[in-house]
Structures are given as structure tokens and as C-alpha cells.
Structure 1
Amino acid sequence: MKRRLFSIGAVLALAAGAVAVVIAAPSAVAAQAAAPDINVANVQAHLTQFNTIATQNGGHRRAGSAGYTASVNYVKGKLEAAGYTVTLQDCTTCTYRSNNLIADWPGGPADDVIMFGAHLDGVSAGPGINDNASGSAALLENALALAAANPTMVKHVRFGWWTDEEQGLNGSEFYVNNLTATQKSAIKGYYNFDMVASTNGGYFINRITSTTAAPLKAYWDSLNLAPEENVEGQGRSDDYSFQQGGIPTSGYATGASANKTSAQATKWGGTAGADYDPCYHASCDNTNNISATHLNRSADGIAHAVWTAVGTGVPGSPTVANPGSKTGTVGTAASLQLSASGGTAPYTWSATGLPTGLSVSTSGLISGTPSAVGTYNVTATATDSAGKTGSATFTWTISTAPPPGCSGTNGTDVAIPDNTTVNSTITIAGCTGTASATSTVEVHIRHTYIGDLVVSLVAPDGTAYVLHNKTGSGTDNLDKTYTVNVSSETANGTWTLRVQDVASNDIGTIDTWTLNLGGTTPPPGCAGTNGNDIAIPDNTTVNSTIAISGCTGTASATSKAEVHIKHTYISDLVVSLVAPDGTAYVLHNKTGSGTDNIDQTYTVNLSSETRNGTWTLRVQDTASQDVGTIDTWTLTL
């Protein structure tokens, strides 16, 4: 796994000589044959060989080195002997020019491929046995087990071992960037395995709630491991390259240099407060730095994913198309048709967690009129005629209706090509006077790299209000409500959402946006703002307070905390709202990976709290190297 401090640069220019391959990835196909039990002794034998290779070649297997070349040759020899078609791809743009290794097992449709991968290189400080001979060896033994079983393939399977990961995911990025559009669309999913045998490890899954992750999670759930999202690894391993290429991803990890929490130590064993891997990127990352238990559970989980995702000749489970985040208002009718593919049609539908007032028909039509405000976590499930199921989970936020005539929605999709400016308009009529100082713009944009985007609200007189300005780095999609002071603007007229794509390689779509010029007016005395800047140093807790007085009774169950924090790595932060009685409500808990800044409004149930008193925004910086500032925050009770 590459270090967090490495900043991935602009996408490298495509080089000639890349091998033309057709790949694909996982749909939710259920295997009919049981996955084999991967012999962990065989995986450990591969690790011993990688350790010997490092010892014989200067103590490491860094990309471009003799140790790396010997590692490639070892894997290549094993795979070719088992019957794989092996291709070496020369990564001409890598920091250390060297080969990716691609191995295809015969069988399965060329336009329906599942891919499994791990980086084969290490750092120059040591043999790189946990990072990442562990993922490479577990993957190799699984490939050999598939060859030995030689099942009938419903899908095509491909394995990849990547070079130059430690220098910035360069090998996998080169591979993905050299795929044609047809080859890329053939990949239905990619599974990544990086550091799967940490000695003080946990059990982490990339994108754990995704459909792609389902077979990985199902296996670890069967062992009662209660896996968690791989927060530490977000954007730091080769799944990120595939994710940026629009390919669904997941994978296993057991932890790198982050510390195991006390809750994790209670759940999984090990030492709280210590690194998951005490030899991360160090000379001691040798065969003594391996947890056989974690290695065994990871290797067997990979086998379960291979057999589940690839299939064995029998149609599998349906895959439900995720409709993305949905919004609505109390009293306004809503409708959404669900869809699925795969399995054996026809499908029968059910759903849990729907907004109050909505229901789903057996044909998959969600309809009704929302009657209660809130954010609902909806799980839609399709059951096919063979009794197999697939599901998708999404959020549906219901808000109160704005003043009549002062709001509008445009749900027409508008494509966002590379290096292009596009517009979507809403015409407001029947509203009186000027717009509110707390007007809101709810934006839903599908895009694979929101750091490419500048998004502005343009008033009828041409004045532009910038909502989003190339932040978020490689984060997918923009689903956010912005509060904008447009009190100098006449409400009626044509308002425009202008989206500028300022870079190449990533495209998207304006999905829907809603403009509410009526704003919101809290009860007198029941809101406050603190705009004083407060510095957030490393590994420090700071506070910002708002005193509420003149308000009666208890706070609302839908109280709002609008938070604006400038920070260069928001996953270092824990942000809490602390009530006058000392009760803390966590708003943000070390999520967001390397994203800059928090600009978000949180809905909090504070109905048990007395409104009057001093409320505190508490910000805890839990790591080194990134600092920031509390810019402003507003509390509405």
C-alpha cells in the first residue's frame, strides 16, 4: 500500500505498446459449487519464495529492481504451468519502468469479465512480505486452485499483478488508461487485495456496502468477524485506479500503519493503540511479519469471491441497479421505478426503510406521497423466479415544502463531457420580492472525479455564485445542499446551474437539482452563528461555542448544524456537537479519506435537550501532518 502522503498527479499520457485485452468484473452471480478451502501452507510457501527473492536481490522487491523481475518470473512460471494465458505489460510511464502481469483463464464470455488483482512490488526498505507479497501470494494460490478445479465458467476471469504501486498506483493506472472504451465496459468489477496478513490486523473491506463487496463480506460474516469499511486504505491502493475508470471495486485489507482501536481489539483481539502492521514499509516486513490466521481467512474469502462472482454454469442472482440518492418534499407525490438484471426473470420486488407515505409494488414501482421529514436508508430487493435475491441500498431525503412559487426542480439529465461547460435551468414565477439570504441549492451530479468541476448558481441578472470549486479530489459524485445568500437578487426569472468540467479523462451527468429561494427562518432566539476562525493544530481538540437564549422548551428532532471547516485531510477529524448538558453528538468521524474541507449541514435529533444554554462545536484532530481552521458554523434548534 502506498503512503498517504503521496499525491497522485495528473493522469499520465497513454503510451504505445500496451497489450490489448478485454476485461470484465463481478455481477452478483451466486456459485453453485462450493469454493475450495485454500491451503494456507501453500500461500506461506509463496511468501517464503518472495522473501528468498528479496534476500538474493539487495533485500527488497521494489518495482524495476532485480527482485521485482524475479518476483514476476516466479508468478509467471506458476501460472503458465497451470494453463493460464500470461501477458507482461510494459508500464512505460511508471516511475520505475517494469511489467504488469496479466493472467487470463480460458472460458466465459469476453464481454463479461471479473478481475482480481494485487500489487506485486514492495518498497526498497525491506522484503515487502505483508505489503504486498501477502495479497500477491493469496491471489496466486487462488488462481492455481481455479485452474485445478477447471469449472465451467459463466463469466471470464482475469488476474492482475501490478507494478509501481508504491510510487503512486502507476502500474494499475497505466493498465486502466490503456483500455479501450469497449474493454473497460466489459469489466463488471475489480477485487483488490493489499496487506491481508497484518500481525495486529483487523478485517476491512473496500466499499463494504456495495454489491461488488457482497461475496467478500458474506464469507467474513460467516466467520462472525464483523468486518468494517477500509477507511485507512481509501485511495491508497490499486482499486482506486479501477474506480477512477468507472469500474465497480471492492477488496480485502487487514490494516497498515493506523492504530487499532480499543473496540476493534475487543472484537478481533490484538493490541489497542498499536499499529495494525508494526513493520509497515520497514526492513522487518519479512515472513515473521505475517499473521497466518488473517492470511488464511483472506485467502479463503478470495476463493469465495472467485466462485461466487465467476459462477459455475448456472444462472446466478439478480443485480439491482442502484438509483442513487433521492430527494422529495412532504406533500409532493413521488415515483421511482426500480430495475434489475441477471438471474432468472421475472422479478418480485420488496423494499425496507422507505419514507413514510411511500410503498413499493411487486413490479418494483415505488410511489406515494411523503408525509414525514427525514433521511431514510432504503434497501430495495429483487427476488427472481429461482428464489435468488439481489439488493441495493440508497438514501431518500424528505424535506419540508418551500413557500409556494419560490422553488423549482429540474430533473432532466444533462451530460457533462470533458473540458466543457453545460447548463441546467429553473424558471421561478409567482414569487414576490427578492430571494432569501438563506436560499438553498440542492445539487446531484454523477461524476467520476469531482475535483475536475466548478459548479455555480447563476442568477437571472447573470451574477454567478460559486458552489463548488474543484475540491474533493477523486471523490465520485456531488450530492449536496448549499446555502446561498442571494438576497440582492429578484426571485422571479430563469436561474441556471452552470457546471464546468476543467480537465480530461472523467465525465458525468447533471442528475437533478432543486432551487429554494424561500430560505428557512428559525423560531426567534432558536438559532445562532459563530464566525470566529479557530485554528485546528495537529493532534489537538478545539472548541467553538454558540449561546442560545430566549428560546423555550426542548430542541427539534430535526435540528441543523451547518459546519464549515477548512482542513487538508478531513479523515483526521472527529467533529461533535456538544449540548449544554455535556452530551456529545458525533457529526463526522474520520471519514472522507484525503478530501479537503467540510462544508455540510447535519440533521441531528436533539429533542431530549433543552434549547437554552451554551452549545459547543468540538473538533478533534487525531493525526499528524494536516492542519486547518473552524471557519464558521450555524446552529438551528
Structure 2
Amino acid sequence: MTSRRSLPRLAAGVLGISLTLSAVPAAAKSRPTAAPTVSEQQVMPHLRALQRIADRNGGNRAHGTKGYADSVAYVKRALDRAGFRTRLVPFTHAGATGDNLIADWPGGDPDHVVLTGAHLDSVKEGPGINDNGSGSAAVLAAALQVAKSGLKPERHLRFAWWGAEEQGLIGSESYVSGLSGAERRRIDVYLNFDQAGSRNTRQWLVVHDDEHGETEAQQAFEAWFAERSIPTFDIGVGGSDHESFGNAGIPSSGFSTGISDCIHEACDDLANVDPKTETTSADAIVGVLWKLAATTPRH
């Protein structure tokens, strides 16, 4: 997760909710193109790359370090090659400058944005491969599927990787606070993914937006998992990057696979990620993105 102070909130959210397998939502106004699937070979190499970056930079990818800068550069190169419009949005925290990475896929209605993101930084104690290389890699794999498929979305698709989240949701909050009121209103939903590859996962923890209720995105995620007989829990907005968006009134969803065995420790390395869980998470992101991208915006 993004900070030690956030862990009790997430745990409380998990304990206070009931197991649910939601019904498939009503059909969208426009029929989405069939989503491609993601293979293990399309997502795990990104995690191996992040592990190598940590290994050659003191064992971590934390804010203000070369490990984090190299992580951003790795993701940016992959997106640039795929045809995304990328930009770095700098911020300063604790005397160090960091960057959020923003990537826009050309096309789609700019007044109706689906923003998909994850935090890319680790803590200084370890490489952060599940927390949150796994979410970052799953989002990258989904973005590259958009490019590979040449998707022509109805809504505009934007992807983001946040910095300094482990120090208190700094990067995402900096990004949101820098948006004008009009820019915030253009974001139909923010999708967040934190710890997407935890070992021993039995259910996916799907974000329920307390302010906006059951969002279109939440319904889409729960439907995707239900169609595959994968159980889900609902968790509230809070404890990860989506909190910054929820505080600004932007509808949010996404998921986590739960707190891993080695959170914020040196053992949060490649061995702390289950490849099957990670691949399922990336697949779910792609499936829901395709549905949201093809639907007619509601407002």
C-alpha cells in the first residue's frame, strides 16, 4: 500500500464488508469490441525489469532516488515506442524532486476521460515489486495492449504512474491539486491498482466509491470477475492513490489483491509476486478498459 498509516484503514475496510459476487450490469449503449487477453509473458517482464532497476540502485526504487528515476524512464520508453503522448509532471517533496508520468492515447472524447493509474515508487527498505511494481506493471501491460490493438475509444484514455505515494500519497495529490475545476470534471472515473500480484490471493478487493455509490467501473470489474467465478470484496475509497481523487470528488474504482506477506520490506521482491495473480489482474484491467472505452459517456 502507499503508506504505513493507510494499512489499518484498508484492513478495516476489508473486515467490515461482505463477500459479493455482483450481477452483470445492464448492457452498454454501444457494443464494445472484444477485449484482448494478457499473457504472463506480456506482464512479468516488466516486473523483472523493475527488480533489476532496484538491484543496481541500492535495493529500492524510492522517491528521490535513481531507482525511482530509472523506473520512470523504463515505463516512459515503453509508452513512447508504442505511440503514447507522454509527459513528466514534476513535484517536490522532502527536499527531492520526483515525477509523475502521464501518458495519453490519441483519440477519444477529451471531455470524457478514463484515467488509469498506479504508484511506481517503493519504500527505501526494499524494491517494492508487489507494492507497487505489480500495479504499475499491470497498468503498463494494459496500456501496451491498447496500442497493440490500435484501439479507437469513445472516451479518451489516459494512464498515470505516481511518485512519492509511499510517503503519503504525495504524487497523486500533487497531480489532482494541479487540475483546474474543468479538468477534474472531464475525468469520468479514476481506476487505481495497488498490489495486483499478491501471493495466496483468494479474492480481489474492488473499490466501492463511498461518495458516488456503485460506479459504472465497479460494476464492470465485479462483472468481469463474476463471469470467471472469482470472488470479490468491496472496499471503500481510502488507503491508496484513489484517495486523492475521491477527496476531489472524482469517481473512483479499481482493485487490490490484498496486503502481501512482505509489505515495505526487502523481501518484497520478485518472489513476492504470484505470476498467475498478476496476469489475472492485468487481464481484468484490459477487460474493463475495453468496456469503458466503448461506452457512451453518461454526462
Q: Could you state the TM-score of these two structures normalised by the residue count of structure 2?
A: 0.87
Residue in 1 that maps onto 2:39: 39
Is contact 2:104-2:157 (8 Å) kept?
Answer: yes
> How far is the alpha carbon of 1:4 from its aligned partner?
4.4
User: Structure 1 residue 210 and structure 2 residue 215: aligned?
Assistant: yes
Cα distance in structure 1, aligned partners of 2:39 and 2:113: 26
Pairing partner for 2:281 from 298, 310, 317: 298
Q: Summarize the Cα distance change of 1:95–1:141 in structure 2 as closer, same or farther, 3 Å threshold.
A: farther
Larger strand share, 1 or 2: 1
Bigger shift: residues 292-301 or 53-62: 292-301
Residue in 1 that maps onto 2:15: none
Is contact 2:198-2:273 (8 Å) kept?
Answer: yes
Residue in 2 that maps onto 1:240: 243
Residue in 1 that maps onto 2:61: 61
Q: Summarize the Cα distance change of 1:308–1:135 in structure 2 as closer, same or farther, 3 Å threshold.
A: same
One-letter code of the match for 1:181?
G
Q: What are the equivalent positions in structure 2 for 1:310-389 lying under 5 Å apart? A: 310-311=293-294, 316=295, 319=298
Encode CA deviations 1:46-102: one digit per residue, 9 max, x unaligned: 000000000000000001110000000000000000111100000134664200000
Q: Summarize the Cα distance change of 1:108–1:179 in structure 2 as closer, same or farther, 3 Å threshold.
A: same
Larger helix share, 1 or 2: 2
Is contact 1:94-1:171 (8 Å) kept?
Answer: no
Secondary structure of the 2:100 match is strand
Structure 1 gaps of 5+ residues are: 8-27, 257-276, 320-340, 342-637
Secondary structure of the 1:112 match is strand
Cα distance in structure 2, aligned partners of 1:116 and 1:29: 22
Bigger shift: residues 205-214 or 66-75: 205-214
Q: Could you state the TM-score of these two structures normalised by the residue count of structure 1?
A: 0.42
Higher relative contact order (CA 8 A, sep 6+): 2
Is contact 2:154-2:296 (8 Å) kept?
Answer: no
Q: Summarize the Cα distance change of 1:29–1:98 in structure 2 as closer, same or farther, 3 Å threshold.
A: farther
> How far is the alpha carbon of 1:6 from its aligned partner?
6.0
Q: Summarize the Cα distance change of 1:318–1:181 in structure 2 as closer, same or farther, 3 Å threshold.
A: closer
Q: Summarize the Cα distance change of 1:96–1:52 in structure 2 as closer, same or farther, 3 Å threshold.
A: same
Encode CA deviations 1:11-31: one digit per residue, 9 max, x unaligned: xxxxxxxxxxxxxxxxx6665
Q: Summarize the Cα distance change of 1:6–1:195 in structure 2 as closer, same or farther, 3 Å threshold.
A: closer
Residue in 2 that maps onto 1:227: 232
Q: Summarize the Cα distance change of 1:6–1:221 in structure 2 as closer, same or farther, 3 Å threshold.
A: closer
> How far is the alpha carbon of 1:317 from its aligned partner?
6.3
Cα distance in structure 2, aligned partners of 1:100 and 1:5: 22
Cα distance in structure 1, aligned partners of 2:141 and 2:153: 19
Residue in 2 that maps onto 1:145: 145
Cα distance in structure 1, aligned partners of 2:161 and 2:72: 8
Larger radius of gyration, structure 1 or 2? Answer: 1
Residue in 1 that maps onto 2:22: none
Cα distance in structure 2, aligned partners of 1:285 and 1:93: 24
Is contact 1:31-1:310 (8 Å) kept?
Answer: no
Is contact 2:127-2:269 (8 Å) kept?
Answer: yes
Is contact 2:122-2:132 (8 Å) kept?
Answer: yes
> How far is the alpha carbon of 1:210 from its aligned partner?
2.8
Secondary structure of the 2:159 match is strand
Secondary structure of the 2:70 match is helix
Structure 2 gaps of 5+ residues are: 8-27
